[in-house]
Amino acid sequence: MRRALVLAATPGVPLHPNPRVGCVLLSPEGEVVGEGFHHGAGTPHAEVEALAAAGERARGATAVVTLEPCNHTGRTGPCSQALLQAGVARVVVAQRDPNPEAQGGLDVLAAAGVETDAGLLADESLALNPAWTFAHVHGRPFVTWKFATTLDGRSAASDGTSRWVSSRAARLDTHLLRGLCDTMLVGTNTVEVDDPHLTVRDADDVLAPVQPLRVVMGERDLDPARRVLDDAAPTVHLRTQDPAKALATLYAEHDRHHVFLEGGPTLAAAYLKAGLVDEVVTYVAPMLLGAGRSSVGKLGIRTIDKALRLELVDATVLGAGEEANVRLVMRPGSRGSQARTSTDERN
């Protein structure tokens, strides 16, 4: 199973839309006869790749897989049937499949007389695909709220200027984190005022080959000249002010699993009040403004006892001197154990 986990985490394998999966086939004598991993959407699944490598030696073998073999037909056929047709005698998995459309492979195998086992190194398997797992368990994407702030909690000066609160090192780090997500989300006001591009770029300002879906949430019409509507990446306009509805739509209609929330203070407050922020990433700059736009809007909190408390997961200094920023990664304390976070993906 540890070898299967290593295969699943092969560098370069996309984090979305499909889970990373590894498979090892063992002969009755314990010899490795086939290995495989899923290379991304539309490619053979890990079990199929391992079966192809094993050939006839798969008959009577034990399949060790990081995720329950799928039981549905999508771009590829069901792995449960592929394992049955190959004559595999036993299947051991780490994690049960949380996807309601694909789960049930182990039950099909067991009903056909194949010996099955589940739960071996389950936590390690969960850490491979934290956002994907969370999305299928909860029926909505995992939400990371990112913002930059001064020491006194300001995201912009009183005249509206905000470039640059964060340092260059922090901005480059933001692009790395954007690349781990499949969705960038802002509100219509941010598009109107800041005109963000919402793309992933490298240090030389070159666009990444695969871009997250850009999502604008709000009922107002958008100026067609805004940069978020160009052809650098796909864009969806969700005409709603309801965070829960927006996330449900992204999951059910767009197959999205990890949202990077970069909207303004009003949108951030809406998601926080709805209990729909699963991770907070903030870049704190060593500067003071004394006035200006707050990093988050009103949360309806009137007393310190009701404060939304966060669990600190990581603190990292980026850059040096006046250009240094501190990146803080946090989880809402009362729900910190609900899911693995993108911090796990980075590690």
Q: Could you list the residues known to form a binding site, using ranges.
A: 45, 70, 79, 148, 162, 164, 178, 190, 194, 198, 201, 262, 264-270
Say if pTM beats, i.e. exceeds, 0.75: yes
Report whether pLDDT(340) > 60. Answer: no
Question: Is the peptide bond between 145 and the residue preceding it cis, with omega within 30 degrees of 0?
Answer: no
Report whether pLDDT(344) > 60. Answer: no
Q: Which helix (H) or strand (E) holds 26?
A: strand 22-26
3-state secondary structure of 347: coil
Percent of residues, the chain, with pLDDT higher than 70: 96
Report whether pLDDT(345) > 90. Answer: no
Q: What is the pLDDT of residue 158?
A: 86
Q: Could you list the residues known to form a binding site for Zn(2+), using ranges.
A: 45, 70, 79
344 or 131, higher pLDDT: 131
C-alpha–C-alpha distance, residues 36 and 10, integer Å:
11
The string of pLDDT tens digits covering residues 97-147 is 999 888 899 999 999 999 999 999 999 999 999 999 999 999 999 999 999
Buried b / exposed e over 10-38, threshold 16 CB at 10 Å, is: eeebebbebbbbbbbbbbeeeebbbbbbb
| Domain spans, the chain | 2-128, 135-346
The string of pLDDT tens digits covering residues 31-60 is 999 999 999 988 999 999 999 999 999 999
Contact 218, 189 (CB under 8 A): yes
Domain 2-128 belongs to what architecture? 3-Layer(aba) Sandwich (3.40)
Nearest CA to 130 out of 276, 345, 336, 279 is that of: 345
Q: What is the pLDDT of residue 342?
A: 40
Q: What is the pLDDT of residue 184?
A: 97
Question: Is the peptide bond between 14 and the residue preceding it cis, with omega within 30 degrees of 0?
Answer: no
The string of pLDDT tens digits covering residues 204-254 is 889 999 999 999 999 999 999 999 999 999 999 999 999 999 999 999 999
C-alpha–C-alpha distance, residues 332 and 167, integer Å:
26
Q: What CA–CA distances, in Å, run from 189 to 129, 218, 235, 346?
A: 33, 8, 16, 31
Q: Could you list the residues known to form a binding site for NADP(+), using ranges.
A: 148, 164, 190, 194, 264-270
By annotation, the residues acting in catalysis are 47
In sign, the C-alpha dihedral spanning 123, 129, 134, 137 is negative
Q: Could you list the residues known to form a binding site for substrate, using ranges.
A: 162, 178, 198, 201, 262
Report whether pLDDT(14) > 80. Answer: yes
Per-residue confidence band for 162, with pLDDT thresholds at 50, 70 and 90? confident
Residue 335 CB neighbours (<10 A): 12
Q: What is the pLDDT of residue 311?
A: 95
3-state secondary structure of 344: helix
Per-residue confidence band for 336, with pLDDT thresholds at 50, 70 and 90? very low
Give, in words, the CATH class of 135-346: alpha beta
C-alpha–C-alpha distance, residues 80 and 84, integer Å:
6
Q: What is the pLDDT of residue 334?
A: 53
Report whether pLDDT(347) > 80. Answer: no
C-alpha–C-alpha distance, residues 254 and 244, integer Å:
15
Contact 67, 125 (CB under 8 A): yes
